[in-house]
Amino acid sequence: MSEDKQTHFGYQQVEESEKAGLVAGVFDSVADSYDVMNDLMSAGIHRVWKRFTIEVSAVRPGHRVLDIAGGTGDLAAKFSELVGADGEVVLADINDSMLRVGRDKLLDRGYHGNISYVQADAQTLPFPDNHFDIITIAFGLRNVTHKDVALQSMLRILKPGGRLLVLEFSKPESQLLSRAYDTYSFKVLPMLGKLVAGDSESYQYLAESIRMHPDQETLKQMMEEAGFSRCEFFNMTGGIVALHRGIKA
């Protein structure tokens, strides 16, 4: 039997077969406090990042939208309003706990009819070819073991002319900002996690996983290699976060 390949889980080296379970453990732990922690960690700025993502998506009534790693449903809720009764929104997440929290939140807020919920792995998306007008993945790609495979899976199910939007933490543009961000990420985030979610280790992993994620230019190149065209990215908050966009030719 061949030896299992190694990959990273934050700064740790683990067997590829173990990573999905380890990531699942992180999100099982933080699911119920995820929204509160997002607001605290970003001082609410995550709402601005997501609003910009919605604008760049150019979603229209009647569109089919897939929100991968959709978590607690912030993007899916807005997409539901924009696509209307003739459109379709699928909130997908590999993690059952996150999917449950997102579904319950959206149902409680009256979102139903054009939203469906699917537990799915971004690397093996269970949808037909050429199906969606828009795919988004916000703060989820860095947790995927084989990002190249996931990007190819997304390309397959997009319609020609369809858009992929990847919203993710990235590399700050200045050294000064980078140093301040490192201090915040490795000192403040785990402390907030312990106080609010009762879990410092998951937020330590969050900080580490961000550092292991490809930078802006590298991710753009990966999208091009997967087959996307007209790839570009938009830095926000000094490059702490970047939105990548690619088109299926």
Binding residue numbers: 72, 93, 121-122
Q: How far apart are the first and last CA of the chain?
A: 41
With tokens 């319950």, the residue in question is 104
Based on its alpha-carbon atoms, the radius of gyration of the chain, rounded to whole angstroms, reads 17
Tokens of 183: 């201090």
Strands 158-169 and 241-247: antiparallel
Residue set of the binding site for S-adenosyl-L-methionine:
72, 93, 121-122
List CB contacts of 124: < 8 A, sequence separation 6 or more.
153
Which residues neighbour 79 within 8 Å (Cβ) at sequence distance 6 or greater? Answer: 54, 57, 59, 65, 67, 87, 89, 134, 136
How far is residue 156's CA from residue 164's CA, in Å, rounded to a whole number?
11
